[in-house]
Structure 1
């Protein structure tokens, strides 16, 4: 029996990843350990939406944040205010903003909305976004970060250090749950072909059920930052994809977890001794 690839990306993005992996012949099982929930709108959030035209730039951290932003602007601004520059960490988020709001979105230099699986390079990260020239000199600019609860503070901290007046607005929360009994057994036994994780919080959550057998199995992550975290958690067979898109993750699975393609992986393969 073919061992499955385990994924833990929630919602439509998880469905897209699973579909692409299956089209390449992989067996896929979803861990279903995290859900995304929109936060109730309070007076502070409503005030931000009503005064959105006061911001020079809006940075959207994730696809679900983009959906929450799009829904709010559709309710409060039948005609979008002009003069705002939009940014996102990844192309999936940018695509949602373009499709739902019709706005052009600036993304890290290496990313491309029309990139194919063969041409995608680089990492969709906060670090990459901060290299954009238009985010270098932001003194006295008002910048809104639309994100989920928790998460990294690098963008907010760096933009504030560069002189911006930054507002970070949390529009959703991540709700974690234990893996099913069957999935816990798979993790204990390392009974899977590879595990794909694109979130540090998810990785730390899943590590609670990963015994040594799982720690020795291939782990595909979407950035070198996540690979570093995985190493501290005890994972030893790390594969770093060229980004968090389904195409980049699928390419790394195919080329680094397949004996025939191990030498031509688009991403990077690291053992514990290499870090």
Structure 2
């Protein structure tokens, strides 16, 4: 592996449990990864909705997992109560969630293969009106979030229940990262969440925010790029999806430009 990131200090902002792979790839290319999660992940404050969904799990036909966190904060409790129902088809938005499901032994699952978002998931043939109409659907996710998946499935005739099995929150402060930004010590940041980016901007003081606006930022989705532009970031690079897309863009970027 060539050292195409030699000496470059690059911030990885994924939740801590998902940050290791991208950080390892950056280090493998000679870079210096700085892990600074912009979303803190914890179990849901109220466990009752998850327990209620588990009790009626065999009444659902389709189960959706919005993220690897949705898998990790629901599957242990689900499987502790009994085997995964044979008639329940699992869907994931991204390949990481698909791999997490497989690690728990959940087979016959589906996810988009090109773009990892609700829009791409909803394009799957198995989720068109003629197949989901009249079906009961459960969506495992964090607190809040986009409603597109559930709203669209309802429009297609499904009965949809949301289950918040974990919660996201902003980090307590960003003093360490702000210091690096103000000191011009960061070569690039990788941002994988619009919510996380908003958290960061809210945590920074004016001088650090000004530095962020001039920092090179790599994002794997158009929606994040649009939010970054709205927030005044001036050097936004749209990458391919997921960690693989981010590392590919980092490795070919002309750092001398």
User: Shared fold (TM-score greater than 0.5)?
Assistant: yes
Map of 1:85 onto structure 2: 89
What do you get for the CA RMSD once the two structures are aligned?
A: 1.9
Distance 2:61 2:142 in 1: 21
* 1:66/1:93 contact within 8 Å kept: yes
User: 1:176 maps to what in 2?
Assistant: 170
Q: Is the 8 A contact 2:138 2:162 kept in 1?
A: yes
Are the equivalent residues in 1 in contact too, given 2:10–2:33 (CA < 8 A)?
yes
Q: Which residue of 2 aligns with 1:107?
A: 111
Q: Which residue of 2 aligns with 1:227?
A: 225
Assess, with a 3 A threshold, how the Cα gap between structure 1 residues 166 and 29 changes in structure 2: closer, same or farther: same
Deviation at 1:136, TM superposition (A): 1.3
Alignment size in residue pairs: 246
**TM-score, normalised on structure 1?**
0.83
Say yes or no: does 1:97 pair with 2:101: yes
Which 10-residue stretch deviates more, 212-221 or 140-149?
212-221
> In the alignment, what sits opposite 1:26?
31
Query: Equivalent residue for 1:73?
Result: 78
Cα distance in 1, alignment partners of residues 198 and 169 from structure 2: 14
**Greater relative contact order structure (CA < 8 Å, 6+ sep):** 2
* 2:187–2:215 CA contact under 8 A, matched in 1: yes
How big is the shift at 1:257? 5.1
Deviations for 1:226-245, whole angstroms, at most 9, x for unmatched residues? 1011110111111112112x
Aligned residue for 2:85, secondary structure, equals coil
1:120-173 CA distances to partner (integer Å, 9 max, x unpaired)?
Answer: xxx211111111011111211111110000111111111111111110100001
Indicate if the aligned counterparts of 1:33 and 1:178 stay in contact, CA closer than 8 A.
no
> Who is 1:251 aligned against?
248
In structure 2, do the counterparts of structure 1 residues 5 and 145 end up closer, same or farther at CA, with 3 Å as the change threshold? same
Look up the match of 2:52. Answer: 47
Give 3-state SS (helix, strand or coil) of 1:25's partner: coil
Match of 1:131 among 109, 117, 123: 123
Task: Return 5+ residue gaps in structure 1 as ranges.
Answer: 111-122, 263-275
Structure 1 position 242 matched with structure 2 position 234: no
**1:33 to 1:80, Cα distance in 2 relative to 1, 3 A:** closer
2:156 to 150, 156, 162: 162
C-alpha contact (below 8 Å) 1:109/1:129 kept by paired residues: no
Could you tell me the TM-score, scaled by structure 2's length?
A: 0.89
Q: Cα–Cα, structure 1 residues 97 and 200, in superposed 2: closer, same or farther, change >3 Å? A: same
Which one of 210, 214, 217 corresponds to residue 216 of structure 1? 214
Q: Structure 2: how far apart are the matches of 1:157 and 1:190?
A: 44
Q: Which runs of 4+ in 1 moved over 3 A?
A: 40-44
Q: Is residue 204 from structure 1 mapped to residue 198 from structure 2 by the alignment?
A: yes
Does residue 17 of the first structure (1) align with residue 8 of the second (2)? no
1:195–1:13: structure 2 CA closer, same or farther, 3 Å change rule? same
Secondary structure of the residue aligned to 2:139 is strand
Contact persistence 1:9–1:197 (CA under 8 A): yes
Task: Tell me if structure 2 keeps the 8 A contact 1:6–1:31.
Answer: yes
| Cα offsets for 1:240-265 (capped at 9, x unmatched) | 12112x22211111122534xx8xxx
